Amino acid sequence: MFTGLSTPEDYFRAIKNHKWMIIIPIVVCIGLAALLCQWLPKSYRSNTLLYYQEQKVRGIKGVDAPESGVDPNRPDLAMGTRIDALKEVLYRRDLLTQVAEEFHLYGYYKENATPAMDNSIASGLRQLVKIEPQGSGLLKVSFSDADPLIAKAVTARFADLFIQENTKTRTAIAQSSTEFLQHELDVLKGQLEIKERAIAQFKQSHLGQLPEQMDSNMRAIDRLENEMT
């Protein structure tokens, strides 16, 4: 288009003479961008950080605890387990549909819902809830929505639900470990009582014949001999 130009002045003159060929495409692009911003659906993502600490109940046979078997030398594996544990809580269908009803997401109402609708709502929310690691022990939970206030409120609600469910899990594990240890203690006490009764019966049936009774028996014999002489 600008052939035969050799100096800066020639280029400037050519641009000036064909300025509309440059301005019009720029204006059209700006206009299209503005229209797209108006018509395309907006999406706002809100996020919050959660600190996840594993339950410190390990090495007790018969008590299940999260992250059991995780190599302490592999923090990447531990973090992966934390993410799985968090997803297991937040991605439950009952919790997802509960949040959907609380904030009227997708026009969802529990009393009018069918199992298929519950599954559809839960599946859709799982796509919008993101869980990502953010350093040692930190997990980022985020949620996107066309309304920034809804995005923020739903994210906060998910954080609250996780804390509540995690507290329930920890309480259950602590209760389970306490009950297990109490059961083991009762078993040991019972075994000890049985052994003590068996020893007492043995001593009673062998009264005076046990090695620890020999000294007292000899002293009794000596005393009788002295009395007879």
Determine the pLDDT at residue 181.
79
Determine the pLDDT at residue 74.
44
Q: Which of 151, 166, 181 is the last residue of a domain?
A: 181
Per the rule left: phi > 0, alpha: psi between -120 and 50, beta: everything else, 208 is left
Whether this prediction's pTM lies above 0.75 is answered by no
The domain tally of the chain equals 2
Distance of alpha carbon 45 from its chain centroid, rounded?
21
Q: Based on the domain organization, do 25 and 100 belong to the same domain?
A: no
Q: Based on the domain organization, do 82 and 19 belong to the same domain?
A: no
Q: Based on the domain organization, do 51 and 30 belong to the same domain?
A: no
Q: Based on the domain organization, do 49 and 125 belong to the same domain?
A: yes
- Exposed e or buried b for every residue in 105-138, given b needs 16+ CB within 10 A? beebeeeebeeebbeebbeebeebbebeeeeeee
Q: To which residue do tokens 């997401």 refer?
A: 105
For residue 102 the two structure tokens come to 């609380």
Nearest of 96, 149, 89 to residue 125 by alpha carbon: 96
Q: Based on the domain organization, do 25 and 53 belong to the same domain?
A: no
Half-sphere exposure of 73 (CA within 13 A, CB side): 0
CB 161 within 8 A of CB 86: no
CB 44 within 8 A of CB 142: no
Q: Based on the domain organization, do 171 and 135 belong to the same domain?
A: yes
Listed as ranges, residues in the chain with pLDDT below 70 are 1-19, 22, 27-28, 31-41, 52-80, 82, 202-229
Q: Based on the domain organization, do 73 and 158 belong to the same domain?
A: yes
Scanning the chain, the segments in alpha helix (DSSP H) are: 8-17, 19-39, 75-90, 93-102, 115-128, 148-205, 214-228
Q: Based on the domain organization, do 58 and 143 belong to the same domain?
A: yes
Q: Based on the domain organization, do 162 and 76 belong to the same domain?
A: yes
Task: List phi, psi (to 5°) of 40.
Answer: -70, 140
Determine the pLDDT at residue 71.
44
As a whole number of angstroms, the distance between CA 171 and CA 162 comes to: 14
Strand partners, 165: none
Domain that residue 85 falls in: 45-181
As a whole number of angstroms, the distance between CA 120 and CA 33 comes to: 33
Specify the 3-state DSSP secondary structure of 102: helix
